[in-house]
Amino acid sequence: MPSLFVIQGRDQGSRFRLDDSLVTIGRGTANTVQLHDTEVSRDHVELVRRGDKFVLKDLGSSNGTYVNGGQIREHELASGDQVQLGRTLLLYTGATDDRLEDLADKINIVARNVEDDGSRIVHSMAQSEGSEIFAPPDDANASPWLARARSNLQIMYRTALAVSHTLDIDQLLSRIMDMIFEWVDADRGCIMLKDPDTEQLVPKVRRHRRGVQTDERITISKTILDYVVDRNEGVLTSNARDDDRFDAAKSILQLAVREAICVPMQGRYDVVGVIYIDTSLTPHRILQQGSANKFTHEHLKLMIAIGHQAALAVEDTSYYKAMVQAERLAAVGQTIASLSHHIKNILQGVRGGSYLIELGIKDHAKAVSDGAINVESAEKAVTTMRKGWNIVERNQERISALVMDMLTFSKEREPVPEPSNLNEIAGDVVELMKSRADDEKVEFLWQPATTMPTLMFDPEAMHRAILNIVTNAVDACLERDTRRVEVSTQYDHKERMARVRVVDTGSGIEKEDLERIFAVFVSQKGGRGTGLGLPVSQKILHEHGGRIRVESQPDHGSTFTLEFPATPPHTAAGEQPDEIRGSAAIEQAVDTGHTQAATPPS
């Protein structure tokens, strides 16, 4: 599904799915996508679907529409395009490109080259040695220019490596500053990032060279900062009085900065901040080094390159954070929406049941007040009340089951094994579901294993796991002509594996849905399902070192097999032997339909 993801601006982290053929974006509430950005026009742009593409059209906005930095009136979007509206930057992701070539058949990875051409490894090099490509040559007579170029390339290589290894902006900036101090003989330095909302530069990292007074404040000329940010140029100032570009300002004169380098952190489309370093040359040091300059044009070029590299990393990190945040919010939103929907349905049931009880009470009260109380009227009132009460009770059970599922799913817990009989546990579930199955005219078959030893497992948890599966099986049959659910148990003494098999004649599960049935809040039951039942059952089986296997054929039905390693109490002291788990893991489901095995996470 094509989408727009806000990577910068007040709505940062929001994702808008482009479901409709026409999507309008603007500040106004009537838009499909409303942006909370005062620099966005009320009706700013529209997106018109053309086939599987979207065309972006500016609707005469005040501040214009930009795609990948260039202003547009109309533009066909490609996946990865960045759309700037006011201060809001959006990332467009298109539909999955079906035309992408499937390379699986084009590239073969084989154990042995059948067309052996005699190739062999001639040289090998460790990854860490890669950076030595820029190491100074052994030749002492190599030109200084080449040596400098090599050194600069090495710096850039190391910068690229350093910035690619962290997703924490503060850590990233700190690392960059350390590296700059390693390569440039600066006394003080800082990195400032632009606040996306206020556009103001905010200091993030500060450094002083060792030996330089550390509590000294770094005072930076606003004139220089404005120049760097507005013009997107790096500057080197060796003496402000010599630089006529800043003659209108007094700040540099007052600060007495002898040498400074200030470069923009130019990202893909915007300046995200600045890097500033300076140095003070005392007369003594000038005499020592024989020059009044420490920073050169070469330093400036290098700093600009570092600034760009750092900016890209800052952008990537910000986008990544925004993406993670958006996904987190989406997950929370989905959880709330899903639970709310289910609770709403339960409440509607309670409301209906209560209303019937209320009517029954009213009927009874009226009959009493009319003096017409008799067996018939009393029976009628009681029947209405009972009907209502049954509905209320049913919904109490539903809310109780929901809370239990939520609790089971939300916390990591170790099963509490105790000697239990799987036939009794599964039989109890069957008993519990029998009346509902009868009500829904679902034939219920219960086939307990003829011999079932007492086994060590958590009976309460297993009861819940089986109940969820059996409930699903009954629900799956409701819209079928043939409605049958079979529950059976089995214990494999050789493998020490306990199994509960639940077979239904329901509508079955499509192949593409099989992969998602254990995902939380994904329900095939529409309004009736919480999307928690199967994940909870799966979690319980995983906690027991087991799994749930699913075999399903659409329009024929499904078979769910819950299997877990279990031993009788006298052999269960301590850990389960590894070979038991191993044997469970390698068993394959044999079925002509679609099969999905939910194995424990490694």
Partner 1 sequence: MKLAPRVLIVDESADSREVLSALLARHGATTIETRRPQQAVELADLHRVDLIVFDAESDRTASGSGARDLKAAASRNGTPIVILGTVRSAKKHAASGQFVSKPYHYGQLIHKIEGLLAAA
Judged by the rule CB under 8 A, the positions of this chain that interact with partner 1 are 344-345, 347-349, 351-353, 355-356, 359, 384, 387-388, 391, 394-395, 478-479, 526-528
Length of the chain: 602
Runs of H (alpha helix) within 478-591: 511-514, 533-543, 578-586
Q: Distance (Å, rounded) from C-alpha 557 to C-alpha 483? A: 10
**Residue 327 vs 440, nearer CB to partner 1:** 440
What letter does residue 443 receive in the DSSP assignment? E
In the complex, least distance from residue 395 CB atom to partner 1, rounded to whole angstroms: 7
- CA 144 from chain center: how many Å? 50
Closer of 211 and 526 to partner 1 (Cβ): 526
Shortest Å, Cβ 528 to partner 1:
7
Q: Residue 388 Cβ, how far from partner 1 at the closest point, in Å?
A: 8
The amino acid at residue 160 is: A
- Report helix, strand or coil for 395: helix
Rounded to a whole number of angstroms, the minimum distance from the CB of residue 487 to partner 1 is 22
List 237's β-bridge partners, or say none.
260
Q: Shortest gap between Cβ of 392 and partner 1 (angstroms)? A: 9
Buried b / exposed e along 353-386 (16+ C-beta atoms within 10 A): beebbeebeebbeebeeeeeeeeebeeebeebbe
Which tokens belong to 76? 């066909």
CA dist 547 and 563 (Å) reads 6
Of residues 37 and 475, the one with the C-beta less far from partner 1? 475
| Contact predicate 455/567, CB 8 Å | yes
Nearest of 164, 158, 162, 159 to residue 130 by alpha carbon:
158
Shortest distance in whole angstroms from residue 384 CB to partner 1: 7
* Choice between 387 and 542, CB closer to partner 1: 387
Q: Which is nearer to partner 1, 338 or 576 (CB)?
A: 338
> Minimum distance from CB of 97 to partner 1 (Å)?
23
Question: Closer to partner 1 at the Cβ: 273 or 388?
Answer: 388
Please report, for residues 157, 338, 601, the alpha-carbon distance to residue 532 in angstroms, rounded to integers and kept in the order given: 49, 10, 18
Element (H, E) at 81: none
Cα–Cα dist 477/474, whole Å = 5
Give min distance, CB of 386 to partner 1, in A: 11
Task: Evaluate whether 431 touches 472 at the Cβ level (below 8 Å).
Answer: no
Cβ proximity to partner 1, 474 vs 566, nearer residue: 474
d(CA 343, CA 364): 31
Sign of CA pseudo-dihedral 389, 470, 558, 336: positive
Residues 6 or more apart whose Cβ sits within 8 Å of residue 374: 367
* Closer of 168 and 358 to partner 1 (Cβ): 358
Residue 359 or 402 having the CB closest to partner 1: 359
In this structure, what token pair is assigned to residue 139? Answer: 């030749």
Nearer to partner 1, 362 or 413 (CB): 362
H or E element that contains 361: helix 297-370
Cβ distance to partner 1 smaller for residue 132 or 393: 393
* 30 vs 573, beta carbon nearer partner 1: 30
Tell me how far the alpha carbon of residue 220 is from its chain's centroid: 40
- Shortest spacing between CB 445 and partner 1, in angstroms: 23
Q: How far is the CB of 483 from partner 1 (least distance, A)?
A: 13
Lookup: tokens for 509: 């599960």
Residue type, 377: S
Structure tokens at 498: 């306990």
Closer residue to partner 1 in complex, CB, 285/362: 362
Write out the two tokens for 428. Answer: 């109890």
Q: Residue 363 CB, nearest distance to partner 1 (Å)? A: 9
Q: How far is the CB of 393 from partner 1 (least distance, A)?
A: 11
CB of 507 to partner 1, least distance (A): 11
N-term to C-term CA, the chain: 31
Distance from the Cα of residue 548 to its chain's centroid: 26
Given the structure tokens 């309460």, which residue do they identify? 460
**What kind and span of H or E run contains 156?**
helix 144-163
